């Protein structure tokens, strides 16, 4: 298992600009993977340093021109492999109708974009529409998904909706229809 010291040292040097020219180095993968469960690994080894993981979480950036995700820390930027989503929904503010993302940003929850993940059924939504037509996927962490599901009500006409502020927003049909074969 990796304690991340070598990687942490390289990132600290990059933040200080050690050995850097005028701009960011060329974009290339360097073995960092963001898994669907929000774990980070480097060259197949888990990153155990909590502070380093937190730094990576808030440093994920999507580059629309290159259509790639990177971590960008100071002058350092490195392409990362994304298993499912580059961003995670860490918290849900039901009153404001907003989600708090792993990069520290907040966005309005677009209920119409909610869908289940193919692999395990966890909730995904679309975010950052300004960066990519159709938005980018964000995966709900367990606690934020539980908060969202706890706010589901049966609205007029029997349609399942989530209450954001004072508004009942209908859930997408994909999330409300019974599973095939249920009787």
pLDDT band at residue 2 using 50, 70 and 90 as cut-offs:
low
Q: Where are the domains of the chain?
A: 5-82, 87-150
Percent of the chain with pLDDT over 90: 68
Place of tokens 């790639």: 68
Look at residue 66 and tell me whether its pLDDT is greater than 80.
Answer: yes
**CATH superfamily to which 5-82 belongs:** duf1285 like domain (3.10.540.10)
- pLDDT tens profile 71-128: 998 888 899 999 999 999 999 999 999 999 999 999 999 999 999 999 999 999 999 9
Q: Which residues of 103-133 are buried (b: 16+ CB within 10 A; e: fewer)?
A: beeebebebebbeeeeeeebbbbbbbeeeee
In this prediction the pTM is: 0.82
DSSP 8-state class, residue 132: S
């Amino acid at each position: 298992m990796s304690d991340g010291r070598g990687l942490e040292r390289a990132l600290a040097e990059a933040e200080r600009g050690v050995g850097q020219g005028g701009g960011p180095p060329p974009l290339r993968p360097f073995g960092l993977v963001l898994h669907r469960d929000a774990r980070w690994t480097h060259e197949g080894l888990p990153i155990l340093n909590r502070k380093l993981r937190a730094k990576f979480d808030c440093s994920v950036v999507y580059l629309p021109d290159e259509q790639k995700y990177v971590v960008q820390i100071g002058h350092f930027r490195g392409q990362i492999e994304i298993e499912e989503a580059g961003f995670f929904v860490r918290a849900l503010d039901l009153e404001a109708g907003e989600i708090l993302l792993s990069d520290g940003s907040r966005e309005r929850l677009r209920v119409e974009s909610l869908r289940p993940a193919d692999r395990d059924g966890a909730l995904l939504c679309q975010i950052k529409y300004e960066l990519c037509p159709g938005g980018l996927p964000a995966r709900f962490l367990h606690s934020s998904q539980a908060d969202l599901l706890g706010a589901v009500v049966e609205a007029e006409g029997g349609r399942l909706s989530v209450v954001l502020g004072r508004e009942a927003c209908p859930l997408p049909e994909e999330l409300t229809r019974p599973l095939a074969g249920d009787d």
